Amino acid sequence: MLTYSAGLRVCEVVSLKVMDIDSKRMLIHVRQGKGRKDRYSILSKNALDTLRTYAKEYHPSEWLFPGDQIGRHLTERTAQKVFESACNKAGIKKDVSIHSLRHYAFATHLHIKKMPNGLC
């Protein structure tokens, strides 16, 4: 959901810390993204609601998505496997990757929002 709604790379999503979610300003602080640069991305209300539900159930402390090893975050490969599993469950046959969410869906979503007079 964060890959799509905030346009994050898989490496950025898995390395998010709980403190990187700024619910007051509705922003996500992406640390050491591409080119080792920090930046902010948008946090949608739907994503925030989902993260709050997730946090109530899983109680992340440091890493938003902790890995199997204590003190480590989820691996990129594990996130990719979760995405592949979701695609299979949804019956998606097209050859897509988690990066497709960032590359196509997020960009298309932003493009549609910027169209004049609300036309799609």
pLDDT of residue 97: 84
| Burial (CB count within 10 angstroms: exposed 0-12, middle 13-18, buried 19+), residue 65 | buried
Q: Which residues of the chain have pLDDT under 70?
A: 33, 103-120
Cα first-last separation, the chain: 22
Q: Which amino acid is at 118?
A: G
pLDDT of residue 115: 47
pLDDT of residue 35: 72
pLDDT of residue 117: 52
Domains and CATH numbers, the chain: 2-118 (1.10.443.10)
**pTM of this structure:** 0.81
pLDDT of residue 95: 86
* 16 contact partners, CB below 8 Å, separation of at least 6: 2, 28, 30, 63, 64, 65, 73
Asked whether the CA dihedral 92, 95, 97, 99 is positive or negative, the reply is negative
